[in-house]
Amino acid sequence: MAEAQHPRRAIRLLALGLMVGLAAYWAGSRYGQRVATTASALPLPANSEVSLDPTEAENVRIYKQASPAVANIVTRTVEYDFFFNAVPVEGAGSGFVIDTAGHILTNYHVVEGAQTIEVTLGDQSHFRAKYVGADTRNDIALIQIDPGTHKLTPLPLGDSRNLLVGQRVLAIGNPFGFQSTLTTGVVSSLGRTVQTDDNTFIDEAIQTDAAINRGNSGGPLLNTRGEVIGINSAIYAPSGTTAGIGFAIPINTARRVANDLITQGRVRRATLGVEGRAIWPDLADALHLSVQHGILIERVTAGGPAARAGIRGGTKTVLAGLQQLTIGGDVLVAIDGREVTSPTDLSLMLNRASPGDTVTLTILRDGKKIDVKVKLGQA
């Protein structure tokens, strides 16, 4: 008997479950209607349009205007491991269009050694780019895309000579691969010389607190008129990410380099035609010099600008500790009244000059300082 009653008990339990389920569904539907009705009844703000203050509106305007011309640059090359196996390597950076012919300015270190260069602009148009040339000393490179029928909107280039500390700036680039990212800040310092590698530096760097991270290299630093005033190039990053100190190459330097590459096919550099090394106080005392700092001119390039002006190189080789020096030549102490204490000082001064400029060298010869005018040559 007990076993015969089990089917009937199961039917009763099933019926009870269906009743509970229907009740829950009905209650839930009613609750959902009440929630939906309540939510739809919430009033919208009187003005549903986005309200921007003047600074925000200006940021939005500049971003919309500039971002289509900012390039996300992806490079590919092949390197070899310890066992000489080919290993594909991909790099990334930023750049920006400067003319309707498709020329794009970026950093040399972004495209250095690249076998292929691909560019995606802010409007999502995609191109294969070719390498045009570079100024490795200033870490500036020029590449070019063929826009075909695609209409390019180049960024206007400003003037980096009259910037002021505190001036608001905007940076657009592709940090960590996040394309078309905008950061804002101010010019936090001017006129610094930033050594970026053994043979490269940013002369008269623009320092900014606008966030610049890996991938921003080569992107534009803009003023509030939407003009490019610099190329974002380096960061001070003890932790590997931005620390609020970034550096940009002045656009006037980049403009000169781009113009040379487009019109001449190479960068014209001013040259003096001398080789030498820095003097330190102990060496100056040993050589009985009346100056403690300067450049000991060891060799003068035959037929070069310095040689034509009568500058003298060394005549005798000696050992100073573990160094072999050629002494007996002139000591360069200043150019146009600006003190020269190291080869870097000389490089910086030549970097700011143009071939054909005439400069006044102050040299020490036979214990006396004399001025010599030299017309700079072209490297």
Active-site positions read 109, 139, 217
- Rounded distance, CA 9 to CA 62, Å? 76
**CB of 18 closer than 8 Å to CB of 26:** no
**CB of 209 closer than 8 Å to CB of 245:** yes
**CB of 334 closer than 8 Å to CB of 361:** yes
**CB of 332 closer than 8 Å to CB of 361:** yes
- Rounded distance, CA 256 to CA 228, Å? 14
**CB of 296 closer than 8 Å to CB of 346:** no
Determine how β-strand 246-250 pairs with β-strand 228-235: antiparallel
Rounded to 5°, the CA angle 76-79-83 comes to 150
Find all residues with CB under 8 Å of 120, minimum gap 6, and list them.
71, 72, 74, 126, 127, 179
- Rounded distance, CA 287 to CA 282, Å? 9
**CB of 325 closer than 8 Å to CB of 299:** no
- Rounded distance, CA 235 to CA 104, Å? 22
**CB of 98 closer than 8 Å to CB of 104:** yes
- Name the residue type at position 352: R
Find all residues with CB under 8 Å of 45, minimum gap 6, and list them.
none
Strand partners, 71: 95, 121
